[in-house]
Amino acid sequence: MKLALLTTGVRHLAGGKNKMNRIRALMLVTIFLFSCFLNGNFLFAADRAADGMEYIEVRNEKNERVKFSRLILGTDHLAQEDWYGPNSRKITDEGINNLLDEAVRLGINLFDTSPIYVGDIEYRLGKWMTAFRQKNPDKKIYALSKGGFPFDLYWSKKLPTGENSFCLQEMLKAKGIMAEGFADLPNAPNGTYASRLFGDKEQIIARVSEEMGHTLKNLGEYPAVYLMHRDDADFINFEPVKRSQNSVNTIMQALSSKELRDKFTFLGWSNWKPNRITRSLALANKHANLAKPVFNSPYFSLFEMSERAIHAGGVQATHEDMMDESFLKGIKLMPYSPLGGVSILDRPEPCWENARKEARKKYAQGDPYWKNVYHSIFTCANEERYNRLVRFTDDFNKKHKTSYVADQMANAYALAHKRTDFLVIGPITIEQLRRTVAALKLAKMLSPEDLDFLCYGDE
């Protein structure tokens, strides 16, 4: 409607042969601009800002298709005041909504969330989505949520009802965390989890349905994309319990059941190992009754995880994996990292040193997140990569007469890999968001040799 007004007005301005036509044209253009102003929707600015966004079409086994923005806005830390640094951020709904509005203006249409993320962010995202659609009924935005999280025994202090793995129970007893004949865990340490994807089909349906119920209540709708954010596994103090995993077929039968399948459009995995993902694709191709996985979300960054993952059950893709066009062929890859424009390295100079110091403080305070991230990310190898990244960015800017900064180059590094279909980003300020979106253009300027150098140096 508004675009038609503008088109008609411009046509009359260009071809008007008399004063009346020109007046009519000016009135049409004025009505268009005033309408945009009232709705807070500046079409020209949005189109220009969105020009750099890229979109990829995905489809499921029902041939339902959606084009999602290549950058996906992660909300994990968006409402967490004390996530990082000595000074807590003041979190307000207005600030969150402004960032989400800016994300749409920049062309992002998919928002990554979860019922367990800090600050009730899934609920706050749902409120924003409802309000946004009322103001912008023609604008398509989508939610990506997650299930399959293991039960957090540190918080629950007891095993979940139903069947739990024998190996987990025996290990809890051996460590003196659980007494014989009891399900209570009064002294369960941080990072102690029981799998939600363990057991038979009916138990998995019940456990995942409970999670989906929270997401429906928070968002006010079912998510377009639903990822199982962990595979079947148990952990004690962040260390995996050694046992065999539930069959991929059992898990997929549960997720493809009438109780769950109609509650999401696209299914995917997060932090699943490649062999299990390949198995899921083979099963879906063989059995028409199974939901076909569309997405996989591994950790991937220039700053690779050490042997200690950034969280329990974290699964990493490497530079070599992501440069291999046959790697997990048949599924869209949407990697994540803690560097998606936030960045945990968004510190004053000397950046790496200050970031490490702050992370070390959090680790010393017993923060369960930084207990892992500190040892996972702040390694000697990653410090070398960071220093190489800074030098490379400086040289690149001189050569191309640009002004990119290190975190943009780190995101461009991830985006430039052949198997990076999407990238989940984590900015918590509008400035960081804009910088991250600008990395799309930068990614096109990086060669495979550049990526090799950033990862390995002059080897």
pLDDT at 372: 87
29/67 same-domain check: no
Contact of 376 with 339, CB cutoff 8 Å: no
Residues 217, 97, single domain; the answer is yes
Q: Assess whether 113 and 241 both reside in one domain.
A: yes
User: Is 49 part of any domain?
Assistant: no
For residues 176 and 279, state if they share a domain.
yes
Q: Are residues 23 and 77 in the same domain?
A: no
Q: Is residue 383 part of a domain?
A: yes
What single letter denotes the amino acid at residue 124?
R
pLDDT for 30: 44
Rounded Cα distance between 275 and 331, Å, is: 13
Residue 51 is assigned to a structural domain of this protein: no
Same domain, 171 and 23: no
CATH number at residue 429: 3.20.20.100
Tokens of 128: 């924003």
pLDDT score for 82 = 66
Question: 11 with 107, same domain?
Answer: no
- The structural domain count of the chain equals 2
Q: DSSP for 183-204? A: -B-TTPPTT-EE-SS-S-HHHH
Q: Which amino acid is at 160?
A: P
- Where the chain has pLDDT below 70, the residues are 1-51, 82-88, 338-343, 459
Specify the pLDDT at position 37.
37
Tell whether 202 and 169 lie within a shared domain: yes
CA distance 214 to 358: 34
Residue-by-residue DSSP string for 351-378: HHHHHHHHHHHHHHTT-HHHHHHHHHHS
C-alpha span between 87 and 246 (Å, rounded) = 44
Our CA angle for 91, 92, 94, nearest 5°, is 140
Residue 48 is assigned to a structural domain of this protein: no
- Model pTM score: 0.87
Other beta carbons within 10 angstroms of residue 40's beta carbon come to 9
Q: Assess if residue 50 is contained within a domain.
A: no
Cα torsion at 204, 210, 212, 214 (round to 10°)? -160
Q: Are residues 117 and 34 in the same domain?
A: no
Cβ atoms 355, 406 nearer than 8 A? no
Angle between helix 274-286 and 248-255 (nearest 10): 60
Are 235 and 162 within one domain? yes
Q: Read off the tokens for 456.
A: 């390995």
Domain limits at 13?
A: 2-39
Beta pairing, strands 193-194 & 55-59: unpaired
| Of 155, 160, 165, 148, residue with least CA distance to 189 | 155
Token pair 């065999």 in the structure block, residue: 244
Same domain, 26 and 72: no
Residue 44 domain flag? no
| Same domain, residue pair 11 and 120 | no
Residue partners of 180: CB distance under 8 A and separation at least 6: 173
Nearest Cα residue to 414 out of 70, 52, 58? 70
Could you list the beta-strand ranges (E) of 70-198: 71-74, 110-112, 142-147, 151-152, 193-194
Task: Retrieve residue 38's tokens.
Answer: 């009232």
Give domain status of residue 52, yes or no.
Answer: no
Asked if omega into 86 is within 30° of 0 (cis), the reply is no
Q: Which two tokens stand for residue 142?
A: 């989508």
Q: Can you state the percent helix, strand and coil of the chain, rounding each to 5? A: 45, 10, 40
**DSSP secondary structure, 206-250, as one string:** HHHHHHHHHHHHHHSS--SEEEE-S-S--EETTEEPP-PPPPHHH
364/279 Cα distance (integer angstroms): 41
In a domain? residue 55 = no
